[in-house]
């Protein structure tokens, strides 16, 4: 992650991205200044030609000047090529740097950030917003630099030729500048609205594509089209408002710039009548006014690029200013050899400091033992497990591993020593080999195959068309549920962590597949400290300890045989699943 300070004004942050590429940027600005210089030299050479060379019949010198003009414009063409190619390249470099920093920040942000932000909104900030920043990064400084040089140069030269004409420009230009400042505010807000509506469309599109199978299953394609149409109409409306602001800005600027020619001709004609100005000087001033108009048009483009680019950059800065609330403490421990003794002491937790999910939880899990968590949905079982690798930060109490508070352990070493197998398996859209190797980047083929064998998936892989190079598709859709689960188990075998979390790892599978997965999980759990979340009580009978959790906290603890003999929530769950009245359990009479 970069060490940039994102608490400073956005324009300073933006300028800081030029620093690594300052040599190329300086060369770009040098070529831009030379382009402006050629544009300023041409009117002066024209004036000299009309006033001196042609009246004095100095034809050889005249054609020499013409040849020099040709060479200058040839050089200008080369400068333009450099500015166009390398200027855009600098913009692409800056965009890549910003995208790198943004992606790095996204990797640091906790689960809570992703809980509250849609994937499509985040993708919009990483893609479309930053593309327009590229255009600003290239054209912005260049257009501004050339415009300032040309405007100042033209004004000075016109002043030397005819100060009365310079006075006319001194009145008109401030009007243009004030109009530009006023219009930019309206365009900025309109541009930001477009960004937000674009993000909404991308979010809806991502959601609809991901849920295409569900939409078809419920024959809700027309509903999805109607929903997308609504978002698309909002986008069109936002675009129209932006274009309305832009049209007003451009049309007013076009009127001012064109009327300037009329004013110059009128003022020049009046000065000629007063014999204060020659025809050659009027032609020269008119050429300078045309040179004057080019930077004004560049400024128009700059304003448009600035509003769209800075709107996107502002959304980039918003994420970069989000502070990760789960970070390493100074001097955090790097634990290489964890035994796996886990202690939850008076742990309480709530999401966003609202409704409390866990209240004063106390659990002791010795190394190498298994702790099963059961209970009704919403009781906080998954949250309890997510606190261990610090996906969320506990509000009260402490969690220790081998006597070390997890907040004193570096996140990297803490999470490296914890493996998680979930019900909803996520596989990347690559090969089976790549997905297994994600457990330990750089693992050899032999290690990958051994992990697959231990996860009971090796034989299935060999039957596939490309074996370990078979592509699994988006989120692993080309594999069955059992195959996806076993690939994720192979991934954990390769990681080889001392602590394991099994979050309802078999609840979505059929009985035959569940037995096969269960064997792999038992092999995976052997010798590891294991937390098991399960709804099927048949899968946790052999657990060393079972904790029954509901929204009141831990209600019961003990082995299966002990809990089944007690009248309580575990016995109720057992009867509900197996239809057997547990010995010693007392159940309330059913009404009616």
The Cα 123–Cα 466 span in angstroms is: 32
Rg (CA), the chain: 35
For the chain, residues classed under CATH 1.20.1560.10 are 10-320
Torsion of CA 447, 449, 455, 457, to 10 degrees: 160
DSSP letter for 528, please.
S
The Cα 524–Cα 43 span in angstroms is: 82
For the chain, residues classed under CATH 3.40.50.300 are 332-417+499-586, 423-496
Q: What is the pLDDT of residue 585?
A: 40
The Cα 346–Cα 397 span in angstroms is: 5
For the domain made up of 10-320, give the CATH fold: ABC transporter transmembrane region fold (1.20.1560)
Q: Could you give the 3-state DSSP secondary structure of residue 473?
A: coil
> CA-based angle 548:550:555, to the nearest 5?
45
Report yes or no: 115 and 57 within 8 Å, Cβ to Cβ. Answer: no
The Cα 364–Cα 325 span in angstroms is: 27
The Cα 525–Cα 533 span in angstroms is: 13
Give the CATH class of 423-496.
alpha beta
Q: What is the pLDDT of residue 592?
A: 27
Q: 429 Cβ partners below 8 Å, 6+ apart? A: 471, 472, 473, 474, 475
Sheet bearing 396-401, strands edge to edge: 356-365, 342-350, 396-401, 404-405
Write the CATH number of the domain with boundaries 332-417+499-586.
3.40.50.300
The Cα 503–Cα 335 span in angstroms is: 25
- Whole-Å CA distances, 438 to 413, 435, 500: 17, 5, 17
The Cα 233–Cα 245 span in angstroms is: 18
In the chain (592 residues long), the average pLDDT of successive 10-residue segments reads 70 87 89 84 76 75 85 89 85 86 84 77 76 78 80 77 74 70 64 69 66 61 74 74 72 72 76 75 70 71 76 83 84 86 91 78 90 84 89 89 91 88 80 87 89 86 88 79 84 87 68 70 82 80 86 84 82 75 39 28
């Amino acid at each position: 992650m970069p060490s940039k300070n994102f608490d400073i004004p956005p324009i300073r942050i933006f300028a800081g991205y030029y620093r690594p590429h300052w040599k190329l940027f300086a060369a770009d600005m040098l070529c831009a200044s030379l382009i402006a210089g050629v544009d300023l030299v041409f009117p002066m050479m024209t004036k000299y030609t009309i006033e001196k060379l042609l009246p004095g019949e100095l034809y050889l010198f005249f054609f020499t000047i013409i040849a020099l003009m040709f060479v200058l414009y040839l050089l200008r063409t080369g400068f333009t090529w450099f500015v166009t190619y390398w200027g855009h390249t600098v913009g692409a470099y800056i965009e890549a740097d910003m995208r790198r920093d943004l992606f790095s920040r996204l990797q640091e942000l906790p689960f809570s950030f992703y809980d509250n932000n849609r994937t499509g909104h985040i993708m919009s900030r990483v893609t479309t917003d930053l593309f327009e920043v590229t255009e600003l990064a290239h054209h912005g400084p260049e257009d501004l630099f050339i415009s300032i040089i040309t405007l100042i140069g033209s004004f000075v030269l016109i002043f030397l030729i005819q100060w009365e004409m310079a006075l006319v420009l001194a009145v008109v230009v401030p009007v243009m500048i004030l109009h530009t400042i006023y219009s930019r505010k309206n365009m900025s807000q309109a541009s930001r609205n477009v960004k937000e509506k674009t993000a909404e469309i991308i979010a809806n599109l991502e959601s609809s594509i991901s849920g295409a199978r569900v939409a078809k299953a419920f024959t809700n394609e027309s509903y999805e089209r109607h929903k997308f149409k609504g978002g698309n109409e909002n986008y069109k409306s936002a675009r129209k408002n932006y274009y309305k602001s832009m049209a007003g800005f451009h049309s007013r600027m076009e009127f001012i710039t064109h009327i300037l020619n009329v004013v110059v001709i009128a003022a020049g004609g009046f000065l000629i009548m007063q014999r204060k100005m020659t025809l050659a000087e009027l032609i020269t001033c008119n050429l300078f006014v045309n040179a004057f108009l080019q930077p004004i048009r560049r400024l128009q483009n700059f304003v448009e690029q600035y509003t769209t680019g800075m709107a996107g950059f502002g959304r980039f800065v918003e994420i970069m200013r989000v502070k990760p609330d789960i970070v390493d403490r100074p001097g955090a421990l790097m634990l290489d050899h964890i035994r796996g003794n886990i202690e939850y002491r008076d742990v309480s937790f709530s999401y966003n400091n609202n409704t409390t999910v866990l209240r004063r939880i106390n659990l002791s899990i010795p190394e190498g033992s298994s702790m099963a968590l059961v209970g009704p949905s919403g009781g906080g079982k998954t949250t309890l497990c997510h606190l261990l690798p610090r996906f969320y930060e506990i509000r009260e109490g402490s969690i220790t591993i081998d006597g070390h508070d997890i907040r004193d352990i570096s996140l990297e070493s803490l999470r490296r020593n914890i493996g998680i197998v979930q019900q909803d398996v996520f596989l990347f859209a690559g090969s089976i080999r790549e997905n297994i190797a994600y457990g330990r980047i750089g693992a050899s083929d032999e290690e990958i195959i051994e992990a697959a064998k231990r996860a009971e998936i090796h034989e299935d892989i060999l039957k596939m068309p490309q074996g370990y190079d078979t592509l699994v598709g988006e989120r692993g859709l080309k594999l069955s549920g059992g195959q996806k689960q076993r690939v994720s188990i192979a991934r954990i075998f390769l990681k080889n962590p001392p602590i394991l979390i099994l979050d309802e790892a078999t609840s979505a599978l059929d009985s035959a597949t569940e037995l096969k997965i269960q064997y792999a999980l038992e092999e995976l759990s052997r010798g590891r400290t294991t937390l098991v979340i399960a709804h099927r009580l048949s899968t946790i009978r052999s657990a060393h300890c079972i904790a029954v959790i509901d929204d009141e906290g831990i209600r019961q603890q003990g082995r299966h045989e002990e809990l089944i003999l007690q009248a309580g929530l575990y016995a109720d769950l057992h009867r509900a699943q197996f239809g057997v009245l547990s010995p010693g359990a007392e159940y309330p009479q059913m009404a009616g």
